[in-house]
Structure 1
Amino acid sequence: MSATQITSYIQIHPLDNVLVALVDLPAGTRINFNGQSFDLLTAVQAKHKFTLTALAPGNQIHMYGVLVGKASENIPLGTAITVDNVVHAAEDYALGERKTQWQQPDVSAFADQTFMGFHREDGSVGTANYWIVIPLVFCENRNVEVLKEALIGKLGFKKPKSYENEVDSLIALYHTGKSVEDILNADLQRSVVVSPANQLFPNIDGIKFLNHDMGCGGTRMDSDTLCGLLAGYITHPNVAGATVLSLGCQHAQASILQDEIRKRDPDFKKPLVILEQQKLGTESKLLEEALKQTFAGLMQANQQYRSPAPLSKLCIGLECGGSDGFSGISANPALGHLSDILVTLGGSVILAEFPELCGVEQELSDRCVDVPTAERFMGLMTTYNALAEATGSGFYANPSPGNIKDGLITDAIKSAGAAKKGGNSPVTAVLDYPDKVSKPGLNLLCTPGSDVESTTAEVASGANIVLFTTGLGTPTGNPVAPVIKISTNTALYNKMPDIIDINCGTIIEGRESIEEAAERLLRYMIDVASGNIKPKAVELGQDDFIPWKRGVSL
């Protein structure tokens, strides 16, 4: 879509037999498209699709040039497609020829760009400098919270916004005898976020505390995988050092964690504190030792400074959540063009959420650089979908009620748009959760479609910044990697400015091309990577962290 194109409906791909409404279209609206004229038989809401031909039961529906569904009943020309008249369908896939030739974008405007990052001994570069405190098992969650309460305020790190003033207002109204109706209609005194006056360690962006409900009581595979995930965070370029609390008897042993750390960084030299409660004895001994060693580690981490780094040192995670019918034609393709720019510059990109690649397997497997990589991708997709179907919920069940309400009525429609985040470059590697990125270029990472689980995994694999598109709005963030939230439509950007950073609704409105939006986003991302701008999720302290249990999660 060009920067000057303003219309009320579009065809995404020449092979598509449906059009996408860009605005609400009432029944009776005259449609003129490619020499064809007809009136809409039904109203079509913005983001939804309507037929370009009459369809009989079983007829295929194509979007983005791929099969995304089949008619479940007769659908006349000019009728909205819905969950009532369409069922999910996707093409089969098989090993094909390598299709790795692609048109690299012009990157001259960014060839000499740098960002200000934290250089680590393993050669990676962080976009932030955090200390993390992690429990190896859920039994230690309370002790992690005690450390958080003790450290954050005293060291001058910013706390998330409190609503204590609002509660004080309610208490005061209660004491004056106000009714329930008075309470519900009251204007409350607003809390004000006050930044700490003195941060003891100015070169540290914060201490992050990563609670979870795993480590014991589940399968050994889950606990081993958890150790790999935590090792990914400890060795992450945005992390200066870590404190790990272990009970001692759990499945997720400290020795397994240390093995996973060595797999990712054989010469690991960051400050690392591992304390076992059953060895130390009392809780007070554990916490006193944790405080002393963590404080000493913070002193070392504070010696790190930002310095220039090439954009090739960026590893971006691509994510979407609360997607809508505009995701695949605005924000996601903008991320795709940005991804192609970064790959051309030698950087790394992670495309995850395997349930949301259903229907585009053939294209992605053909783009894999060699046959083993293609076979690995297809094998992971087949195994994952089979596990889902064994529980009565295949990939077809991925779209959420919010997705469906806003135009993504089959998983293949959602997937075809979601895959646009990956651009057009060859797939250099396929990773299984929680593997680490080791090659530049486009990496496919097996994760669920659940945005927090997937974002958690992308960061563990090395993403030092995450680009997150949303059409409905979601506050998702991450403890150590800045998450930039990008809206697919302007209405959302205006409605939820407290969680959205960038608006790509300009593409839908014809005010900006996909390429222009991508370059605007890349400049913003460089500022975030340099610490000049804090995304809304960082400002809000939105530290979402959910490890994936390798059971079925869509």
Structure 2
Amino acid sequence: MKHLVAKIHPADNVLVALTDLPIGTPVTWDGTTVTTTEKIPAKHKLALQALEPGDSVTMYGVLVGKARHAIKLGGLLTTANIQHATNTYDEHQERRAAWTPPTVDKWQERTFMGYHRSDGRVGTANYWLVIPLVFCENRNIQVLEEALVNDLGYARRKSYQPQTQELISLMQAGKSVEEILQSDFGGTDTRYNKPKLFPNVDGIQFLSHEGGCGGIRQDAQTLCGLLAGYITHPNVAGATVLSLGCQNAQVSMLQAEIQKRSPNFDKPLFILEQQKMGTEETLVSTALRQTFVGLMQANANQRQPAPLSKLTIGLECGGSDGFSGISANPAVGHVSDMLVALGGSVILAEFPELCGVEQELVDRSVDQATAERFSSLMKAYGDTAIAVGSGFDMNPSPGNIRDGLITDAMKSAGAARKGGSSPVVAVLDYPELVTKPGLNLLCTPGNDVESTTAEVGSGANVVLFTTGLGTPTGNPIAPVVKISSNTALAQRMPDIIDINTGTVIDGEETIEQAAERILDYVVRVASGEEVSAVRHGQADFIPWKRGVSL
């Protein structure tokens, strides 16, 4: 049965509206009836007690803000009457958090069909990469893409060219501006021009970027670490790398980062330097030949059964709303706990969106050194933001605020639920590699694409991405499963949503049931079933240039 409101934690002094509540609506929770004193839009919060200026606002059992002005019992919480606030935290554990793993007996023998690599990792896909070491090579990357993609059967993007041709026809027929604007014509061309020449290769991905030179030398080192994470990734069969020659991101730097992540690296890797080779034609022709041979080698790989412990799942949210923290995120959190119980790895990132739940994560750390590293990275990130006149409190976007996330602490408390309740086994600084099974924290921005890019670079072979507003975000090499927090979004944007957890809000299933459904889908995706982002050719890649990015 669908309720009108929800109370997330027994200690909370606010309720979440699950539907639009007109002024004067009586709502009851745990025997307490509150009458709304103004209109409460769905996803927004109403006061469960009268609040005076300076009073604490509690959600998820933690401080998420303080009242700027008096708020009546049953009143609406807004950015005008609530300001961001969080509890302080200490790097020392207040108590070691106990953890009871969920029952996963039914999943113990479950396998997925993946690509086994010599280092023991297993890929959920099999891609070839073409990478520039510096932005100066982006044009040559584009030339290679034009030469390879169509003829090898990897063209995926939908073309709207037929619509343009019809518009031209309407104009040439003398139609007016009004008639053209009101014309109802359809037709797009999804360009699967040819069957794939290499059926066991999922695609060729071209990772253009704006880095590799300029800036500071640490930027080049970090970029090489990220690129090495992609080259050594289990979803990658091999790579072609183009270097200009004089840039900060030197070939030797990339090779050292590859060695750091994979000491016995044995994938096909072709590195070409334009300033040594001479003409563009020589460079591109050589790259074409080598890449084609690499694809022939990659095509020899075939999917084989692998245990679920070989999954590394990245946890991401973007375009979040007031339902994200009570449907999609906790469902993903239960998936995280199930995977950890099965011996797999999960990555919780977006450090600006862990603001306010630091003490909980400190207390969940497996040892004091892990707790101290998390605390140190969080404080350094926060201090850097403050130093440039910003801060974590500026993280929520206009869309977040419009749909009920009115403080960063409120947004963060809900976002952190993606990490479930298992112990924190490691804290990684971007772009370090995940090496331990269990819950790993990775220092990244809250920016969706930067964070997703980083999680995959650290080893995620599947990403679970929750959204309340809708976003098409994908990744070049890892399937990004888009999970809707509400049914209206899933119905409005079915082309980008893979799973709807609005069923939890609608009272149709529990968090645990939604999680089981998500994990079943993950197994199918890890075995090759395409997600929406892959079908649309959505392959977003933005390296984080270390600095303030919220």
TM-score range, shorter chain: over 0.9
In the alignment, structure 1 residue 158 sits paired with structure 2 residue 155: yes
Q: CA deviation at 1:98?
A: 4.8
Q: What residue is the counterpart of 1:72 in the other structure?
A: 68
Superposed, 1:412-451 pairs within 5 Å as 412-451=409-448
Post-superposition Cα deviations, 1:259-307, rounded to whole Å, max 9, x if no partner, equal: 0000000000000011000000110010011001111111110110000
Q: What residue is the counterpart of 2:297 in the other structure?
A: 300
Kindly indicate whether the alpha-carbon contact (under 8 Å) linking 2:156 and 2:535 is maintained by their aligned counterparts in 1.
no
Question: Which stretch shifts more, 131-140 or 177-186?
Answer: 177-186
In the alignment, structure 1 residue 47 sits paired with structure 2 residue 43: yes
Q: CA deviation at 1:43?
A: 0.7
In the alignment, structure 1 residue 89 sits paired with structure 2 residue 85: yes
Q: CA deviation at 1:219?
A: 1.1
Normalising by the residue count of structure 1, what TM-score does the alignment of the two structures yield? 0.98
- The CA distance in 2 between the partners of 1:180 and 1:196, in whole Å, is 34
Post-superposition Cα deviations, 1:311-339, rounded to whole Å, max 9, x if no partner, equal: 00000000000000000000000000000
In the alignment, structure 1 residue 323 sits paired with structure 2 residue 329: no
- The CA distance in 2 between the partners of 1:393 and 1:293, in whole Å, is 47
Q: CA deviation at 1:40?
A: 1.0
Kindly indicate whether the alpha-carbon contact (under 8 Å) linking 1:312 and 1:342 is maintained by their aligned counterparts in 2.
yes
Q: Which amino acid aligns with 1:549?
A: K
- Correspondent of 1:266 among 250, 263, 268: 263
Q: What residue is the counterpart of 1:202 in the other structure?
A: 199
Q: What residue is the counterpart of 2:395 in the other structure?
A: 398
Kindly indicate whether the alpha-carbon contact (under 8 Å) linking 1:98 and 1:369 is maintained by their aligned counterparts in 2.
no
Q: What residue is the counterpart of 2:450 in the other structure?
A: 453
Q: Which amino acid aligns with 2:188?
A: S
Q: What residue is the counterpart of 2:506 in the other structure?
A: 509
In the alignment, structure 1 residue 6 sits paired with structure 2 residue 2: yes
In the alignment, structure 1 residue 244 sits paired with structure 2 residue 241: yes
Task: Give % identity.
Answer: 66
- Correspondent of 1:145 among 142, 146, 171: 142
Kindly indicate whether the alpha-carbon contact (under 8 Å) linking 1:330 and 1:488 is maintained by their aligned counterparts in 2.
yes
Q: Flag structure 2 segments of 5+ consecutive residues without an equivalent.
A: none
Q: CA deviation at 1:192?
A: 3.1
Superposed, 1:210-225 pairs within 5 Å as 210-225=207-222
Superposed, 1:286-365 pairs within 5 Å as 286-365=283-362
Kindly indicate whether the alpha-carbon contact (under 8 Å) linking 1:170 and 1:188 is maintained by their aligned counterparts in 2.
no
Q: CA deviation at 1:171?
A: 1.2
- The CA distance in 1 between the partners of 2:444 and 2:510, in whole Å, is 31
Post-superposition Cα deviations, 1:145-198, rounded to whole Å, max 9, x if no partner, equal: 000000011111233111111111111112122222122112234023243443
Kindly indicate whether the alpha-carbon contact (under 8 Å) linking 2:4 and 2:27 is maintained by their aligned counterparts in 1.
no
Kindly indicate whether the alpha-carbon contact (under 8 Å) linking 2:34 and 2:48 is maintained by their aligned counterparts in 1.
no
Post-superposition Cα deviations, 1:409-465, rounded to whole Å, max 9, x if no partner, equal: 000000000000000100000000000000000000000000000000000000000
Q: Which amino acid aligns with 2:148?
A: L
Q: Flag structure 1 segments of 5+ consecutive residues without an equivalent.
A: none
Q: Which amino acid aligns with 1:349?
A: V
- The CA distance in 2 between the partners of 1:239 and 1:36, in whole Å, is 56
Kindly indicate whether the alpha-carbon contact (under 8 Å) linking 1:215 and 1:223 is maintained by their aligned counterparts in 2.
yes
Q: Which amino acid aligns with 2:103?
A: D
- The CA distance in 2 between the partners of 1:138 and 1:158, in whole Å, is 24
Q: What residue is the counterpart of 2:474 in the other structure?
A: 477
Query: What is the number of equivalent residue pairs in this alignment?
Result: 549
Question: Could you say what the CA RMSD is over the residues aligned between the two structures, in angstroms?
Answer: 0.9
- The CA distance in 2 between the partners of 1:195 and 1:89, in whole Å, is 51
Normalising by the residue count of structure 2, what TM-score does the alignment of the two structures yield? 0.99
Q: Which amino acid aligns with 1:164?
A: Q
- The CA distance in 2 between the partners of 1:32 and 1:309, in whole Å, is 49
- 1:485/1:25 Cα in 2 relative to 1: closer, same or farther (>3 Å)? same
- Correspondent of 1:229 among 226, 231, 253: 226
Q: CA deviation at 1:99?
A: 2.0
Q: What residue is the counterpart of 2:20 in the other structure?
A: 24
